[in-house]
Amino acid sequence: MSHLSEFNQQVSPGLLSVVVPFFNEQEIAFHACRELVEQLRHDAQPWELILVDDGSRDATLSELARAIEDVPQARILQLSKNFKQTAALQAGIDACQGEFIATLDGDMQNDPKDILPMLAKLRQENLDLVAGWREHRQDQFLARKLPSRIANWFISISTGVQSIDLGCGIKLYRAAVLKQIRLIGEMHRFIPIWLATVTSPDRLCYVSVNHRARTAGQSKYGISRTYRVLVDLLTVIFFLRFSGRPAHFFGAIGLPMFLTGGGILLWLATLKVFLAESIGTRPLLMLGVLLILSGIHLMCTGVLAEFVVRNQSSTATARTYSIRRVIEGGLANADQDATEGGGLRSAPLTR
């Protein structure tokens, strides 16, 4: 899953890149962005801000553009449609130039004041990830908090990687490690688990962060996401244990089925040949044939999966998103059409 950024091949030492995805958040986009910018300026830490408009169908893009008119360190990536949060995060990560990367949700429930303390811990303790833990979460208990706690407990047990609060959007990463993984599907919830495939779990930790109640707009998640989380979890477990040897996974299931089916058919053949018993109507005959065919199918699937793994380098950099344009900030005084982007200009992608 190694990946070199298609946007930036060079990393600026000491620079903090902040990535925030937005989707239909016109009520709070401007205020969220301005609060974040003011906090980053106050921290006196070299930074850049990557805002990702994930195909919003409201005025989110114009609100973001208005918010960064005086911010030369900011850029907006406008995706050509709604690719969902995982792809939006990946687009922002690909565009980052910093040595460190921070991610936040665009709903203002994450507190930007937590960024600098988390970055300090990451640097001082030489960690690869410092993830937020919403110790005092401001959400409904039955609809959000209880399912989240159960899911985190189950994920910790099934993967062996401590998962206190995977759903918290504020996280600080070491860019060199984060860019070794590629986010697909809806895997943004499992980024700490994915990181455990390329670095030691001892270099990942959680810290308590401030969590605020949503003040406007609507949450994009509900109890219905539970099914998707379970499906994604199966994929994560598979990659954690068998990403380099898929034939072992399929073989561990297929070989016992094949041997069991072979044993059943051998027993029935013995009854037929030596005892002259009728076996044509016995359910065991159908079961034996089914087990043998299923076992062969699974073992062949494992062999094909091995071929895919050994040739995956050709598709490791495949994009899961499409960028319509990049809007750069800090150009409010430029001589240009004020009706186009709110005093901002579109820029080509940096490759």
Residue-wise pLDDT for 102-135, tens only, equals 999 888 888 999 999 999 999 999 999 999 988 7
Domain presence at residue 7: no
Say yes or no: 166 and 293 in one domain. Answer: no
- Distance separating alpha carbons of residues 71 and 329, to the nearest angstrom: 5
Name the strand (E) or helix (H) holding 92: helix 84-95
Q: What is the mean pLDDT of the chain?
A: 81
pLDDT at position 226: 61
Residue 326 in domain: yes
CA angle 341, 343, 345 (to 5 degrees): 60
| Residue 2 covered by a domain | no
Residues 6+ apart with CB under 8 A from 339: none
For helices 283-310 and 246-274, angle between their N-to-C axes, nearest 10 degrees: 160
Q: What proportion of the chain, given as a percentage, has pLDDT over 70? A: 78
Start-to-end CA span in the chain (Å): 20
pLDDT at position 3:
41
- Residue burial 180-207, b: 16+ Cβ < 10 Å; e: rest: bbbbbebbbbbbbbbbbeebebebbbbb
Overall domain count for the chain: 2
The position carrying tokens 């060199």 is 176
Of 192 and 100, which is predicted with more confidence?
A: 100
Q: Are strands 129-133 and 47-53 parallel, antiparallel or unpaired?
A: unpaired
CB 194 within 8 A of CB 232: no
Per-residue pLDDT at 106: 85
Domain that holds residue 294: 246-314
**Same structural domain for residues 48 and 129?**
yes
Average pLDDT over residues 32-38: 94
If DSSP codes are grouped into helix, strand and coil, which group holds residue 208? strand
Report CA-CA distances (Å) from 11 to 16, 89, 93, 95, 299: 10, 18, 12, 11, 44
Q: Is residue 274 part of a domain?
A: yes
Q: Residue 84 belongs to a domain with what CATH number? A: 3.90.550.10
Whether residue 309 sits in one domain with residue 327: no
Task: Tell me, yes or no, whether 177 and 299 share the same domain.
Answer: no
Residues 151 and 292 in one domain: no
202 Rama sector, left if φ>0, alpha if ψ -120 to 50, beta otherwise: alpha
Same domain, 187 and 330: yes
pLDDT in tens, 314-332: 445 567 678 888 888 876 5
Digit-coded pLDDT (tens) for 158-186:
777 777 777 788 999 999 999 988 887 77
| Long-range contacts of the stretch 142-146 (C-beta < 8 A, 24+) | 143/222, 143/223
Spatial separation of the C-alpha atoms in residues 217 and 14, rounded to whole Å: 35
Q: Are residues 85 and 28 in the same domain?
A: yes
Average pLDDT over residues 24-53: 92
